[in-house]
Amino acid sequence: MANKLTIALLQLPVGADVAFNVRRAVDSVRKLKAENPKLQLAILPESFNAPYGQEHFPKFAEQVPEGPTCQSLSQLARELGIYIIGGSIVEREGTKLYNTCTVWAPNGSLIGRHRKIHLFTMSIEPANAGGVQFDEAAVLTAGSELTVVEIGQQKVGIGICHDKRFEELARIYRTMGCSMLVYPSAFCICQGPMHWELLQRARATDNQVFVVTCSPARDNMSGYVAYGHSMVVNPWAQVQREAGEGCEFIVEEIDFDMVEQVRRQIPIFKQRRTDVYAKARLDS
């Protein structure tokens, strides 16, 4: 069992009451741990404590780790003796705002803070007839550091939503020794059918890692409608578990022996032609 990890994905609804959103997340994790004593890691969605939207970001921003949301997650991790990947919240540092994922150890300490590196910019036309326009960069500041945390015996790379579109980030995490990538994600419904599963399976097969995403539950009446379908993809690029659209919790055992199995049977990283790649870079 040393190479296995029991995780929970909490696909939660998100309303305008921050205290209620956080309390619901805390109570849900507590209930899942009571029902599943082997639970070691709980993963929350992007923007789990407040509505996702440019107009909402300044209003609901908090300090990390001093703010009330972080303090609740720290206390919960310590109470239950588990790791928590705290989805994301809007972090305020001075005059800057960040989309930030916090990671908490079983002793309640903050062991990771990932500020979203690739801010979500999209213009799918026509915006007035089913299209979507969105620009996080109009309000938020991009992060500039990669985040790798140790959970049990495994190294885990952290990204947030749009970060998973960038294969360079996943590749660097792989070369840093990560066996799992976790992306709290509020993917919109216009992108979801096209790219949600595709991107996760691509990151998994390219890097022979587990890829895990956790979305908010879908609310068709909200200003920004999340796709849902929180997912676990294994290193064979198979969808191991998938949620639906609404409020749903997934508890799943991750067997990291599969990572070594895939890498041994299809040894792509041993076959990489770094000499050819280097020459191509020089020639270009």
Per the residue annotation, which of 70, 101, 161, 178 is the catalytic one? Answer: 161
CA atoms within 13 A on the CB side of 259: 20
pLDDT at 104: 98
pLDDT at 121: 86
How large is the average pLDDT for residues 151-180?
A: 97
C-alpha span between 166 and 157 (Å, rounded): 13
Task: Count the domains in the chain.
Answer: 1
Q: Which residues pair with 184 in a beta bridge?
A: 214
User: For residue 261, what are the CA distances in angstroms to 15, 145, 151?
Assistant: 42, 30, 20
SS3 category, 78: helix
pLDDT exceeds cutoff 70 at 143: yes
Q: For 199-249, write each residue's pLDDT tens digit.
A: 999 999 999 999 999 999 998 878 888 999 999 999 999 999 999 999 999
At residue 3 the predicted structure's pLDDT band, cuts being 50, 70 and 90, is: very high
pLDDT at 132: 67
In CATH, what number is assigned to the domain containing residue 53? 3.60.110.10
Q: For 91-130, write each residue's pLDDT tens digit.
A: 999 999 999 999 999 999 999 999 999 999 877 665 555 5
**H or E segment at 69?**
helix 68-80
pLDDT at 191: 87
User: For residue 201, what are the CA distances in angstroms to 8, 192, 208?
Assistant: 20, 14, 10
pLDDT exceeds cutoff 60 at 253: yes
C-alpha span between 186 and 87 (Å, rounded): 10
In the residue annotation, 46 being an active-site residue is answered as: yes
In the residue annotation, 116 being an active-site residue is answered as: yes
pLDDT at 105: 98
Residue 88's domain spans which residues? 4-283
Per the residue annotation, which of 33, 46, 101, 214 is the catalytic one? Answer: 46
How large is the average pLDDT for residues 20-46?
A: 98
> Phi first, then psi: what are they for 150, rounded to 5°?
-100, 120
Tokens of 101: 């994922």
> Phi first, then psi: what are they for 235, rounded to 5°?
-65, -15
How far, in whole angstroms, is CA 251 from its chain's centroid? 16
Greatest distance between any 2 Cα atoms in the chain: 59
Cβ partners under 8 Å of residue 274, min gap 6:
none
In the residue annotation, 70 being an active-site residue is answered as: no
Residue whose tokens read 């659209």: 245
Question: SS3 helix, strand, coil % of the chain, rounded to 5?
Answer: 30, 30, 40
Closest CA to 204 of 255, 262, 122: 262
Per the residue annotation, which of 33, 116, 164, 245 is the catalytic one? Answer: 116
Give the angle 231-235-236 at the CA atoms, nearest 5°.
Answer: 100
- Single pTM value for the model: 0.95
